[in-house]
Amino acid sequence: MNKELLELFQQTRKESLHICKPLEIEDYLLQPADFISPPKWHLAHTTWFFEAFYLSKKEDYSEFDATFNYIFNSYYESLGEKVLRSNRGNLSRPTVQQMMEYRAYVDKKMMDYLQKDELTEKEVEVLEIGIHHEKQHQELLYTDIKYSLGTQPLQPPYKKVFNLDEKQQLPHKWISIDAGLYKVGYDGNGFSYDNETPQHQVYLDAYFISSKLVTNAEYIAFIEDGGYQNVLLWHAEAWDWIEKNQIELPLYWRKIEGQYYNYQLSGLASVDHNLPVNHISYYEAFAFAQWKEMRLPTEFEWEVACNKFDYGKRWEWTESAYQPYPGYKKAGGALGEYNGKFMVNQKVLRGYSVATSQDHARKTYRNFFHPDTQWQFTGIRLAK
Q: What is the number of H-type helices and E-type strands within the chain? A: 9, 11
Looking at the fold, whether 181 and 100 belong to one and the same domain comes out as: no
Domain harbouring 372, CATH code: 3.90.1580.10
Domain termination site, one of 89, 116, 150:
150
pLDDT in tens, 10-19: 999 999 999 9
pLDDT at residue number 36? 96
Looking at the fold, whether 111 and 188 belong to one and the same domain comes out as: no
Looking at the fold, whether 215 and 71 belong to one and the same domain comes out as: no
Q: Identify whether the C-beta of residue 162 lies closer than 8 Å to the C-beta of residue 89.
A: no
Would the pTM count as exceeding 0.85?
A: yes
- CA 195 → CA 55, 218, 354, 355, distances in Å? 26, 34, 23, 22
Does residue 262 belong to any structural domain of this protein?
yes
pLDDT at residue number 236? 98
Does residue 72 belong to any structural domain of this protein?
yes
Does residue 160 belong to any structural domain of this protein?
no
Does residue 23 belong to any structural domain of this protein?
yes
Looking at the fold, whether 76 and 109 belong to one and the same domain comes out as: yes
Distance CA 265, CA 160 (A): 8
Looking at the fold, whether 25 and 126 belong to one and the same domain comes out as: yes
Alpha-carbon 161 to chain mean position: 23
pLDDT at residue number 336? 61
Distance CA 347, CA 365 (A): 13
pLDDT in tens, 342-378: 889 999 999 999 999 988 999 999 999 999 999 999 9
Domain termination site, one of 150, 185, 218:
150
Rg of the chain over Cα atoms, rounded to whole angstroms, equals 22
pLDDT at residue number 335? 63
pLDDT at residue number 1? 56
Looking at the fold, whether 228 and 320 belong to one and the same domain comes out as: yes
Looking at the fold, whether 255 and 213 belong to one and the same domain comes out as: yes
pLDDT at residue number 334? 55
Q: What are phi and psi of 155, to 5 degrees?
A: 45, 60
SS3 90: helix
Looking at the fold, whether 91 and 204 belong to one and the same domain comes out as: no
Alpha-carbon 357 to chain mean position: 10
Instruction: Write out the chain's pLDDT in tens, 384 residues.
Output: 578 889 999 999 999 999 999 999 999 999 999 999 999 999 999 999 999 999 999 989 999 999 998 899 887 766 678 888 889 999 999 999 999 999 999 999 999 988 877 888 889 999 999 999 999 999 999 999 999 999 999 999 999 999 888 888 888 999 999 999 999 999 998 899 999 999 999 999 999 999 999 999 999 999 999 999 999 999 999 999 999 999 999 999 999 999 999 999 999 999 999 999 999 999 999 999 999 999 999 999 999 999 999 999 999 999 999 999 999 988 766 566 567 778 899 999 999 999 999 889 999 999 999 999 999 999 999 999
SS3 98: helix
**Domain limits at 304?**
174-379
